[in-house]
């Protein structure tokens, strides 16, 4: 496999993050190759851009208003790994965010497209944070 210039990989990564931040999950999905693979350990393995779209777009509907700040990014050849936060709207009374961390590994394939993505996060922590956030909304 060809190794792409770091600047190209980094530009494609930040474009994906901008689409994510805009809640534009259709355009985000367009950044996968036609045969891309997305592994989400709690939802399954999705093969092909349209299978990824069929799952990702509806699953993100309840997440409107969330933000996904990037804590750090590591780029090694075509691989991009980053730590991010799923940050829910609002804050706790002490000012801290309702958020949980995760990690994503991606493989850049050229032409602004990624062929692989795997998300890793603690589901128990996710459920606890969401429950706390919902309770605070009442």
d(CA 131, CA 70): 23
Average pLDDT of the chain, as a whole number: 96
Q: In this structure, what is the dihedral angle of CA atoms 41, 77, 112, 56, given to the nearest 10 degrees? A: 0
Which residues, 6+ apart, have CB-to-CB distance to 106 below 8 Å? 13, 16, 79, 80, 81, 114, 116, 117, 118
pTM to 2 decimals? 0.93
How many C-alpha atoms does 31 have within 13 Å on its Cβ side? Answer: 24
Work out the percent of the chain whose per-residue pLDDT is above 70: 100
Query: Residue 1's pLDDT band (boundaries 50, 70, 90)?
Result: confident
Nearest to 77 by CA among 55, 107, 42: 107
Write out pLDDT tens, residues 31-61.
999 999 999 999 999 999 999 999 999 999 9
Task: Write the CATH number of the domain with boundaries 6-137.
Answer: 3.10.450.50
Write out pLDDT tens, residues 12-31.
999 999 999 999 999 999 99
Write out pLDDT tens, residues 75-89.
999 999 999 999 999
Scanning the structure block, which residue is given the tokens 């922590």? 125
Q: What six digits make up the tokens of 1? A: 């496999």
């Amino acid at each position: 496999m060809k190794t792409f210039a770091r600047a190209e990989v980094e530009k494609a990564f930040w474009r994906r993050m901008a689409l994510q931040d805009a809640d534009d999950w259709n355009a985000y999905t367009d950044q996968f190759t036609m045969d891309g693979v997305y592994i989400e350990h709690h939802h399954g393995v999705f093969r092909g851009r349209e299978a990824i779209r069929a799952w990702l777009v509806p699953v993100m509907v309840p997440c409107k208003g969330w933000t996904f700040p990037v804590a750090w990014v590591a780029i090694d050849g075509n691989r991009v790994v980053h730590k991010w936060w799923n940050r829910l709207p609002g804050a706790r009374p002490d000012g801290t965010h309702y958020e949980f961390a995760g990690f994503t590994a991606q493989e850049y394939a050229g032409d602004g497209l990624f062929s692989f993505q795997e998300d890793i996060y603690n589901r128990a922590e996710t459920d606890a944070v969401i429950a706390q956030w919902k309770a605070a909304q009442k």
